[in-house]
Amino acid sequence: MTGELSKRPIAMGSIGVRRTRPLVFWIATFAAITAVVILLREVLLPFVAGMALAYLFNPLASRIERLGVNRLVATLAIIAFVVTLISIAMVLTVPVIVRELWYFAEHLPLYVRRVHTLATDPDRPWVSRIVGEGLNHTERSIGELTRMATSWFDTILRSLWSGGRALISIVSLGIVTPIVACYLLYDWDKMIATVDNWVPPAHRETVRMLAREVDKTISGFVRGQSFLCLVLAVYYAAALKLIGLEHGILVGVVAGLISFIPYLGALSGLVVSVCIAIAQFSPDWKPIWLVLAIFIVGQALADYVLAPNLVGRRVHLNPVWVMFALFAFGYLFGFVGLLVAVPLASAIGVLTRFSFRTYYASSLYASSATTATETEP
């Protein structure tokens, strides 16, 4: 009897050690993956972009495959269509953007003079107080701004060739990304089956349920938000061009595309557009109010029409959480962090909600609630 009692603590201790081993393993695995991503973040961009393309177009490839088309043929057709579409878009948009950038760089000193004149106008002392005293130093820097504007693109090209790293990243993004996307899209179902087989059978259904919820959240947000950004880009560019704002197409397209980060696109586009409008139209304030109205209507359109219908409430991604995730992962991992921020934020949100549901259904929560009720006077 004494021998049996003496063996029990050892047996219970060994059970506890066995239970903590999976937790230690997954923590160590997560730490190792994080360290690898931090160390290799500068070369991971084409692979992460290829994975994102494969994930986005896997439903289309599966649908084409169900129609009787070979998976390889469907994959090649999708990748060829995407590459062609991106190439056409770049051919159509890059010259316009470059021309707008050249025009903006050439006229930047003129804009500075106009704003400086307006800020120092004695008839409008309130403008001087709003703008501040920082513009008092602009006269001395106008010549520098002019020289900077004329040599802007030359400097960029020299830095690209001298550094080489950015040029390699651009080339690898255009060449490696389609290849990676093609391989991943072709083997997507096999990879999912392999990862599913890694999960212990006892926990497989739970992991599958969580994976489906993460997939629904990511796909709903990314696809809906991407279409929302395209609609806003077209709206901002057309509206600003219609009122005659210089660089309206460039500002509108950029403001619409960076609306992927909630509210950032509208705020940044509004600030830049108002500054250009003040320099261009002052003392006529009507176009400036029109610029303000354009961005207010655009944000209202995004919040009350596009987002509910394109993204939907089922996504369960709070805009504040999305902004924090984008800024945090972008700061830690650069552009790669921006690509993985929304999927990781979605996964963290799903796991957090699952943890709370499990906690509320556990005996620990029930016993604590019962104890609190019994201790009340």
Distance CA 213, CA 353 (A): 11
Residues 272 and 191 in one domain: no
Do 253 and 182 have their domain in common? no
Out of 157, 176, 198, pick the residue that ends a domain: 198
Indicate the residue type of 263: Y
At residue 84, the pLDDT reads 92
- 216 domain residue, yes or no: yes
Same domain, yes or no: 81 and 228: no
Same domain? 338 vs 262: yes
Q: What is the pLDDT of residue 215?
A: 85
Please indicate, yes or no, whether residues 91 and 105 belong to a single structural domain of this protein: yes
164, 198, 232: which is the final residue of a domain?
Answer: 198
Give the closest residue to 62 by CA, choosing from 219, 189, 208, 183: 189
Residues 137 and 286 in one domain: no
- Distance CA(371)–CA(364), nearest Å, equals 11
Residue 211 within any structural domain of the chain: yes
Does one domain contain both 264 and 340?
yes
**Structural domain range at position 207:** 203-377
On whether residue 12 sits in a domain, the answer given is no
The total of structural domains in the chain comes to 2
For residue 229, being part of any structural domain is answered with yes
User: Has residue 259 been placed in a domain?
Assistant: yes
**pLDDT for 63:** 92
Written as one letter, the residue type at 273 is: S
Query: What is the C-alpha to C-alpha distance for residues 99 and 206, in angstroms, rounded to an integer?
Result: 54
Residues 189 and 208 in one domain: no
User: Is residue 18 a part of any domain in this protein?
Assistant: no
Tell me if 58 is assigned to some domain. Answer: yes
The answer to whether the CB of 51 falls within 8 A of the CB of 37 is no
Distance between CA atoms of residues 179 and 174, nearest Å: 9
Identify the pLDDT of residue 148: 47
Q: Which two tokens stand for residue 137?
A: 């130093």
Query: In Å, how far are 139, 229, 260, 265, 291 from 224, measured between CA atoms?
Result: 47, 9, 10, 16, 26
pLDDT per residue, tens digit, the chain (377 aa), is: 444 444 444 444 454 445 455 557 667 777 787 787 777 777 777 888 888 889 889 989 999 999 989 999 999 999 999 989 988 988 887 787 777 777 777 776 776 677 666 666 666 555 555 554 444 444 444 445 445 444 544 554 454 444 445 545 666 677 888 999 999 999 998 998 888 888 888 888 888 888 888 888 888 777 788 888 889 999 999 999 999 888 888 889 888 888 877 777 888 888 888 888 877 877 777 888 899 999 999 988 888 887 777 766 556 667 777 778 878 887 777 777 777 787 888 888 888 888 888 888 877 777 655 555 555 55
pLDDT of residue 288: 85
- Structural domain ending residue among the three candidates 156, 177, 198: 198
Is 23 a domain residue?
no
Amino acid letter for position 85: L
Note whether 367 and 225 are same-domain residues.
yes
Residues 67 and 150 in one domain: yes
Domain check: are 117 and 99 in the same one? yes
- Are 169 and 69 contained in the same domain? yes
